[in-house]
Structure 1
C-alpha cells in the first residue's frame, strides 16, 4: 500500500469497477487506501498486489476508515451504505446509486441526519470532453440534443436494464446541458437479448422549447458515446470515448476540432470526493441530484 497522510478510505466490492477504483485510490495524493473488502476470498490476491489489507466482512474494515467507496452490486447498495453512514463514514456510492429513487431518498435523509458526505458515482460528469462541451455551449440558445450510448452485448449482463445500466449517465448529463423542466417525455424499449430492456430511446421536450433524443443500447455492433448539441449558431459534437470536440457552424460543411485537456475521469471523481470531505462542501453529484436522476430513469422505464 502506498502510505501517507490523507483521508483514510476503504473500498467495498472488487468487481471490475471496484478494481479500477482501487488502482487509482492506491496512488492518489490526499487519499490513503487502508483496506479492501469483498465477500469473495479470491479477491484477496488483487488486494495483495496493491499491498492493501483485505477483509471478507466490510464491517471489519469500517473502524479503520474515514470514508468508503462502495462498488458492490446495486441490490446491496442501500444496506451497505446504511451501515457505513451509521458508522459515521462519508461515502462515494457508485451508479446507479441505490437503483430506486425511494431508496435514494431514504439514504439521502440519513446522510443529512449524520452530517456526512454522500456522493454519487456518475463518472461521465468528469469526462473532459463533456466538461469542454459545457464550456462551448455556455450562454448559447439550445435547439436540440442527440445522445447515443451504444455497446456490443456484454459477456455478463447485470440484473438490470439498459436504462439503469447505461442510459442513466445521459439522463444525468442532459439535465446539465438543458437546465430546464421537462414538459413531455416518451420512450420506447426493446427486449432483444435478455428479459429486460436492451435498447431504449427516450424523447424529452423541455418547457422553454429545446428537445432531446437519448438512445442507449447494449446490443449494438460497436461502442459509441456521442453527444450532439444544436444551438442557434452552430452544432457541437462531443465524442466521449475519444475525448474530442467538433464544432460546425452553419456556413461551413467542414467541422473544426477543439482541443480537450486530457484527464482521467475516475481520478477526477475521487479527487472531487476527497475535496468535498476536506472542505466540507457538496460533491459534484450529491444525494439530492442522485434522487432526481433515478426518478427520471424510473419515468423513462415506465414510459416504455
Structure 2
C-alpha cells in the first residue's frame, strides 16, 4: 500500500553544525515506527507523551492486519510501504521494532536512507550480525541506540550513582536473579523460543535487560562456570533456565540465575554487597541499607512483565529511552545505550551459553 501525501509542515530551522556533524534542531523531529507487534505498544505510548518533541509521521508494518489493528489504538498515520515512508523528507529517525532476525536488514535500510535509528533489543540473532549492524551504523554517521530500558528506571539510576560515588564501599559480592514465567502458549507462537527467529532463549530474549543493567553497574570480567538447560515445563528449541558463576569488575564473585519456568513469575532482582552497605534492586524498587544504620528506598513504578502478560509494565522507562535518543540527535552526543554497549551485553550472553555447553 503506497504512502499517501501529507499536509505541508514547518521547515527545519537549525543553528550551525555541532559535534559529529549534527545540527541543533529547533522543531519536532519526524519519526517512523517500523514493526507493529507487541513491542510497539510502550514505544507508541511514549511517543504520545513526547508529542512536543517528536512527530510520528508513519507507523509501518508489512502486515495489513497489524496496520489495521494498530490504527484502532493510536492516531498515527500507517502504511505497509517502508521504502515510501523512508523517502518522506520530513522523517529524521526510525524506531525499529521488528523481530531480531530482521534487525540488521531493517535498521541498515533506515540508516542508508539517512535516518537515525533506535532498535529494540537484542541487536540481532547472533553477535556477528550485531557487529555488522553496529559497523553499518558507525559508517552512516547517524545516531544509533538500543532499547535496553532497565538502565533508565529511577531506581537503577540511583543505584548507579551510589556505586559511582562509593556509597557502598568496596564491592564484595553480587547476584542477579530473573525468575520469570512464560506459559507454553507463548512458545507455541510461530518462531518463539527458536534460534531462527529469536536467536536464543531466556538469556537473550527475556533476561538481557537485567543482565545488561547488571553489567553496566558492576562489570563482568569472567564467566567461571554455567549451566544451561530446557526444563520439563516447556517444549521449545532454546533454553528456559540458565545459572552461572561470574566474576565482576574488581574480581569479586557473583551469581546469576534466570528462567521463564518460575510460575507465576516474580520480579527480577539484583543484590550488591559492599563494605559500607547492601543494595537490593527488586524490579523497579531499590533499597539501600548502610552499615551506619541509615537506609534509603526508591519505590517501584509498576510491574515488570515477569508473568504470562508480557506487556504488564509501565512505559516510563521506554519514554526515557526515546527521550535520550532524541537528545542525542538534537545535541550531537552518544546515547546512553550505544550499539557497542549492547554488543558487550550480547557477548556476555554468548560467553555464558558457551560455558554452559562446555560444562
Structure 1: distance between partners of 2:160 and 2:138? 30
The answer for the alignment partner of 2:298 in structure 1 is 259
Q: 1:285 to 1:207 in 2, by over 3 A?
A: closer
Asked whether 1:156 is paired with 2:186, we answer yes
The answer for the alignment partner of 2:229 in structure 1 is 190
Secondary structure in 2 aligned to 1:9? strand
Deviation at 1:207, TM superposition (A): 5.9
The answer for the alignment partner of 2:206 in structure 1 is 166
Secondary structure in 2 aligned to 1:214? strand
The answer for the alignment partner of 2:129 in structure 1 is 103
The answer for the alignment partner of 2:16 in structure 1 is none
The answer for the alignment partner of 2:285 in structure 1 is 244
Residue 59 of structure 1: which of 83, 108, 113 is its match? 83
Residue 329 of structure 2: which of 250, 266, 277 is its match? 277
Residue 49 of structure 2: which of 16, 23, 27 is its match? 27
Deviation at 1:257, TM superposition (A): 4.4
Tell me how many residue pairs correspond in the alignment.
298
The answer for the alignment partner of 1:42 in structure 2 is 65
The answer for the alignment partner of 1:176 in structure 2 is 216
Deviation at 1:291, TM superposition (A): 1.7
Structure 2: distance between partners of 1:169 and 1:251? 32
* Equivalent residues in 2 for 1:281-300, closer than 5 Å: 281-300=333-352
Moved over 6 A (4+): none
For residues 15-44 of structure 1, the C-alpha deviation after alignment (integer angstroms, 9 at most, x for no partner) is 111122112213313111111011221222
For residues 241-261 of structure 1, the C-alpha deviation after alignment (integer angstroms, 9 at most, x for no partner) is xx3222334587xx9442359
For residues 223-280 of structure 1, the C-alpha deviation after alignment (integer angstroms, 9 at most, x for no partner) is 221111100121110122xx3222334587xx94423596911110000000001111
For residues 192-246 of structure 1, the C-alpha deviation after alignment (integer angstroms, 9 at most, x for no partner) is 2122110111221146321221211111122221111100121110122xx3222
Deviation at 1:76, TM superposition (A): 0.8
Structure 1: distance between partners of 2:204 and 2:102? 15
| Structure 1 gap segments, 5+ residues each | none
Structure 1: distance between partners of 2:258 and 2:208? 9
Asked whether 1:212 is paired with 2:236, we answer no
- The worse-fitting range, judged by mean Cα deviation, of 132-141 and 265-274 is 132-141
